[in-house]
Amino acid sequence: MRNTSLCRCAYKKLGSKPPHFLIDVMAISRLIIENFRNLAAVDLEFDHGFNFLVGDNGSGKTSLLESLFYLGHGRSFKSTVTTRIIRYDQPHFILHGQIREQRHQWSVGLQKLRKEGNTIVKINGEDGNKISDLAHLLPMQIITPDGLNLLNGGPAYRRAFLDWGLFHHQPEFHAAWSGLNRLLKQRNAALQQNYDYAALKIWDMELAKLAHQVSRWRADYAEALRTEIEKTCRLFLPETEISIGFYQGWEKDRDYAQLLEHNFERDKAIGYTVSGPQKADFRFRANNLPVEDVLSRGQLKLLMCALRLAQGEHLMQQKNRHCIFLIDDFASELDENKRQLLAERLRNSQSQVFVTAITPSHLRQMQPEKSQIFKVDKGTIKPLEN
């Protein structure tokens, strides 16, 4: 077993050539849950291939996916109020996972207290780890019925999509991105204080440097993903021409420091910085029209799946790291043929996959060699014989 600092340092060093121990399929082999939503006490061993969670409405299927997502992100995909995730009347929730990558194993733990509200993260028994350490260990992609906001929601969803990739591909991204957000916050506060431009200029120079860096990384990553996305779109939406464009948040080729100076009076009047990387977008068009206006919900779901699969595939190709895929309500919005396509593409990804469904019949299209079915019933989860 590796010690934490070694493991963290190794992941931070992910450069063009990954260390040999990252090359194998990564999977969560065991998950222990205490007091997470309606899951009072769960202890499960998972297959490294497909894991199906079948149960009635309200039984706890999404809660299990949510707990896995929480372990990999330190937050929920459903609720921003963490205390609502803790089981009613309980003081805390605890998640404990075992992660395997053929020759190595990590033990990760996360506890959230109702009173203090802080999150305690442990990796291999050591305290003092950050959520970003967990996120590095557990690259995950989630596909839920709400996930269509990636396409029909605001640009923030698509920036988060790009930034997820950069977090895993570009070791310096997280620090640059945090610095950029901090400087923007400070600038916006200063804009409301009636300063002259001279007082802001020194910050703006620093801000512009980070803005150009982050935007360059985003543009390069968007371009690198294009081929993967187009490949999957040809499979999922052969009847539609999908085009992809990246907008950095301000006019291309314009120096950002100059733009900040030029826009200073306007920004001051409005009270915040109008243009910049905080406005970046990754846009999709179908037959040259906005996808949200012309695609059906099923087609939007397929496009969303194509984006998430492409991102996972790209990570695998570039860094030899496998994503874990969490798929809530696999069958919704998709006809038989499209379910088949998605199932096939997931099988080809050779990743660990968690899929929820109300009845086993919704999973007919999935026939992987390696799988485990779990029956979810009123907060209890039991493996079924395949």
Ligand X SMILES: Nc1ncnc2c1ncn2[C@@H]1O[C@H](COP(=O)(O)OP(=O)(O)OP(=O)(O)O)[C@@H](O)[C@H]1O
Which residues contribute to the site for ligand X (CB under 6 A)? 37-38, 55, 57-63, 84-88, 358, 376
DSSP letter string over 13-48?
T--SS--GGGSS-EEEEEEEEEEETTEEEEEEE--S
15 CB-contact burial (10 Å; exposed 0-12 / middle 13-18 / buried 19+): exposed
Q: Does 74 count as an annotated binding residue?
A: no
Measured from the CB atom, is 86 or 110 closer to ligand X? 86
Residue type, 109: G
- Contact by Cβ (8 Å): 122, 63: no
Q: Does 220 count as an annotated binding residue?
A: no
Q: Does 61 count as an annotated binding residue?
A: yes
Whole-number minimum distance, CB 329 to ligand X, in Å?
A: 6
Whole-number minimum distance, CB 354 to ligand X, in Å?
A: 12
**Measuring CA to CA, which residue among 188, 174, 82, 179 is closest to residue 134?**
174
CA end-to-end span of the chain, whole Å?
32
Whole-number minimum distance, CB 65 to ligand X, in Å?
A: 8
Measured from the CB atom, is 40 or 294 closer to ligand X? 40
Measured from the CB atom, is 205 or 384 closer to ligand X? 384
Measured from the CB atom, is 87 or 136 closer to ligand X? 87
Whole-number minimum distance, CB 40 to ligand X, in Å?
A: 8
Q: Does 298 count as an annotated binding residue?
A: no
Whole-number minimum distance, CB 344 to ligand X, in Å?
A: 24
E strand residue ranges, 250-329: 281-286, 289-290, 324-327
Q: Does 215 count as an annotated binding residue?
A: no
Measured from the CB atom, is 112 or 321 closer to ligand X? 112
* Structure-token pair, residue 281: 């977008």
β-bridge pairing 26-36 and 39-45: antiparallel
Rounded to 5 degrees, what are φ and ψ at 45?
-105, 130
How far is the C-alpha of 192 from the C-alpha of 186, rounded, in Å? 10
Question: ∠250-211-8 over CA atoms, to 5°?
Answer: 140
Q: Does 59 count as an annotated binding residue?
A: yes
Q: Does 128 count as an annotated binding residue?
A: no
Instruction: Extract the annotated binding site for ATP.
Output: 55-62
